[in-house]
Amino acid sequence: MNRDIFWSPVAGVGIESLHLIEDSAGVAAESVVIGSVDGASFRVRYEVECDRQYHVQRVDVAALGRESESITLRADGEGKWTDGQGKEVSALNGCIDVDISATPFSNTLPIRRLELDQNESAEVQIAYIAVPELRVEATSQRYTCLDPIDEDGGRYRYESISSGFTAELPVDPDGLVIDYPGLFDRVSPS
């Protein structure tokens, strides 16, 4: 797979341009997101690398602009995380996936990794990265397969255990969100 995907927020202004490659080496996503939160604009660039089974190995998120900040996390796929200097990040122990708040791509990671059957659910621990402040914390989420992925796509229920937020997510045959009700819509680049 070698794809470019674009999403825009349902409310406010913004755009995300994601380039995704899946090959024999694993999965590599690179994206730029431009948007606003509470009236303040932001620009971030992120990279996510995973193995072939969608276990996160590396995450880099950088705020673009005058006050550039960045965060780098590395994961072993078994729930152990380190920062960019190799120091253990014990607050993320047990987290397998990453959720970058500004992108629906985050949902693809557990959807593809879990390979749930119809009506099957799984609760997962997530390294949540809030954008634009780049705050990192561990959270719990649940995914339920409503319609398994086939050549026409699939459908999943996402639940944030801590906030109670729930959404039904239609995905394409590659497990990428088509639209995220109330948050993001897929847009055509032309």
What does the pLDDT profile of the chain (190 residues) look like in tens digits? 999 999 999 988 999 999 999 999 999 999 999 999 888 899 999 999 999 999 999 999 999 987 779 999 999 999 999 999 999 999 999 999 999 999 999 999 999 999 999 999 999 999 999 999 999 999 999 999 999 999 999 999 999 998 999 999 999 999 999 999 999 999 986 5
Q: Is 6 exposed, middle or buried (0-12, 13-18, 19+ CB in 10 A)?
A: middle
Phi, psi at residue 136, to the nearest 5°? -115, 135
CA 186/CA 165 separation, integer angstroms: 21
Extents of the domains making up the chain: 2-187
pLDDT for the residue 96: 95
Indicate yes or no: pTM above 0.85: yes
pLDDT for the residue 190: 53
CA 3/CA 21 separation, integer angstroms: 7
CB of 60 closer than 8 Å to CB of 53? no
Phi, psi at residue 152, to the nearest 5°? -100, -5
